[in-house]
Chain A
Amino acid sequence: MPKRSKPSSAPIEREGSPWTGLWAVVTKEMADHMTSARMRILEILIVLTAAGSVYAAMQVLRETVGQDPFLFLKLFTTSRDPLPAFISFLVFLVPLISIALTFDSVNGEFNRRTLSRVLAQPIYRDALLMGKFLGAFFTLALVLTAIWLLIFGLGIVGLGLPPNTEEVARSLLFLVTTIFYGGIWLAVAMVFSIVFRQPATAALASISVWLFFTVFWGILASLFAQVISPVQIGTLTEIVRQTETQLALSRLSPNTLYAETMLALLQPTVRSTGLLLPFQLEGAVMGSPLPLRQSVLIIWPQFTGLIAVTILLFALSYVLFQRQEIRA
């Protein structure tokens, strides 16, 4: 197919739009996801964690009512033992949902032997892959939006206060960031679903990548930082340089990008994502809150980074899929 080996010097022009049939694929994929048992389990899981952590947060917040101008945002970030805050849950729930949505998207069609039949219809491979990605992406967006609305509803009922405009704006941006953070893992799992014929292998590979970034990358970043910018005498500049190296390295992980973005968006008092706070989700910096524009400025590189990684990974899966021989 569009793998363009050129038999003649004339450029091959493809007939029609590469997106013919895209929406048929998207709607079919979404319908599949929505009705699958896999998704129901995950939905129950995420609703339970959302309800649990938000309820716990509300109990804490009731005691401190009126002390914070951004009470609603605290719903996402406040924790009470033994439950962590909702955003801490999200850091691993979102990758889990995303991987579950796409780890068998291409190899599943192979194994069911539906791929050649579907590709024999008047569509291009582009439409199939894009449709599968968008179907999963929209499903993810739908689930997360529903949870987001649920938390808002719980908040209004539980706290008896409506959110102000800035809280709505900040949490909306937070929602968008979370969706794109999920997008990265959708694309990761999709790449593996093209590379590996066995869905189980693809799922395992995706989870390994996620574990690597969640657990090991932080350790590796500090190790590498010690090698790249060693502290020899112990001057302040040396220590600062090492910390900066470590931070730069840890930002290669989408988890760091996401954590920093969440922090700046949900805690208006955060003034910088540098130095002081790589992972401390609840460690608030003292001081007066920043306006939304300023907070967005702080995390703009992280935010665009998340979107860029999603697009890059999708492009990779695209190239791999176009080159794949479809005969089973």
Chain B
Amino acid sequence: MSEYVIETVNLTKKYDGFTAVNNLNLRVQQGEVFGLLGPNGAGKTTTILMLLGLTDPTSGKVTVLGMDPTRKTLSVKSKVGYIPDTVGFYDELTARENLIYIAKLNGLSGDSAYQRIDEVLARVGLLDVADQRVGTYSRGMRQRLGVADVLIKQPQLIIMDEPTQGLDPERAREFLHMIRSLKEEGITILLSSHLLHQVQIVCDRVGLFHRGRMVLEGTVSELAKKVLGRAYRVILNAEGSPSQILEALEKVPGQVGVRHLEGDRYEVEAEKDIRPEVARAVVQSGANLLGLEVEAQSLDEIYARYFEEVKHAQKE
């Protein structure tokens, strides 16, 4: 039994000469929210299908909850919930009927199944409309029904493929909240997305996919450090002589770059949050500190920068 919920070793999948996933080494720990990040066609969905045993790997090893999904298919699938990128339901059936079918496929029946269905529908806020046909549901309701659907089996791990795709910002935010609350229940979550800011909000760690490889892995700030070199930008407003202020700022321990932006605005780049040091230095230099804020680097920047570098490397 490995300590990881998901562990892949040199996982590779080839379709007719095209390598969809290339020597992937992925590790997801118990209870964390892990984001697979990358453009379309980077191999995210193929990876997910291999984790579920829905596609056989060409080579390499997969372990999910300590089991091999190609051999222990049923055990893995009874503990892992999967929400596909466009989750489909039988439109002519009601939400409850759809869930009854899933409950039966999971070997649940009778009163305990009905009780569980009511619980999960209440959990995602669809109990009032449980007896409406799913055809009448909005995109956001379907997505929530998708969560209800995986909760029926009381999963230890939920895998979501592009969960917020097609949702308006408000629905997407609600959905991300739901993901957080699932994490609080101790469920490990793996989600794939190309919507960076959402991944950033919800994921503990992310893996950046590019052409079937996981090129970067870590927390968002770790990635920022790796790609951008400087994860934090402190912006300050200060009154006083610019040369004096710049001199003082350059002496701040931990800074890696200082710039005078315009007027009374200055920028300090650093590998960690050095706001207290910056404030002290400015004040000690005799200038008036008017404002101070820190910008954590966003995934978008990391993403853009990384693919810029890749492009450069390819040109050379």
Contact = CB atoms under 8 A, between A and B. Distances in A.
Contacts of A123: 74, 77, 105
Given A15-B75, A24-B104, A327-B46, A116 B56 contact: no
Interface string B91-131: 11000000001101111000000000000000000000000
Interface stretch (A5-13, A97-105, A172-180, A241-249): A5-13
A112 B71 contact: no
Contacts of B81: 120
Contacts of B72: 15
Given A14-B71, A116-B82, A122-B77, A21 B105 contact: yes
B78 to A, nearest CB: 4
21 contacts: A1-B56, A7-B59, A14-B71, A15-B73, A21-B107, A24-B101, A28-B101, A28-B104, A113-B86, A116-B82, A118-B102, A118-B105, A120-B81, A120-B82, A122-B105, A122-B107, A123-B74, A124-B73, A326-B49, A326-B55, A327-B46
A327 B78 CA distance: 20
B58 interface: yes
A113 B88 contact: yes
Place the interface of chain B in its size category.
Answer: 35 or more
Contact of B54 (A1, A14, A27): A1
Interface of A: 1, 3-5, 7, 12-16, 20-21, 24-25, 27-28, 32, 112-124, 325-328
Where chain A touches its partner, the secondary structure class is: loop
Given A21-B104, A121-B105, A327-B55, A15 B86 contact: no
Interface string B43-61: 0011001001111111100
B71 A120 contact: no
B66 to A, nearest CB: 14
Given A21-B104, A114-B90, 7 more contacts: A1-B54, A14-B71, A15-B73, A16-B73, A21-B107, A116-B84, A123-B77
Contacts of A1: 53-56, 70, 73
A328 B85 CA distance: 10
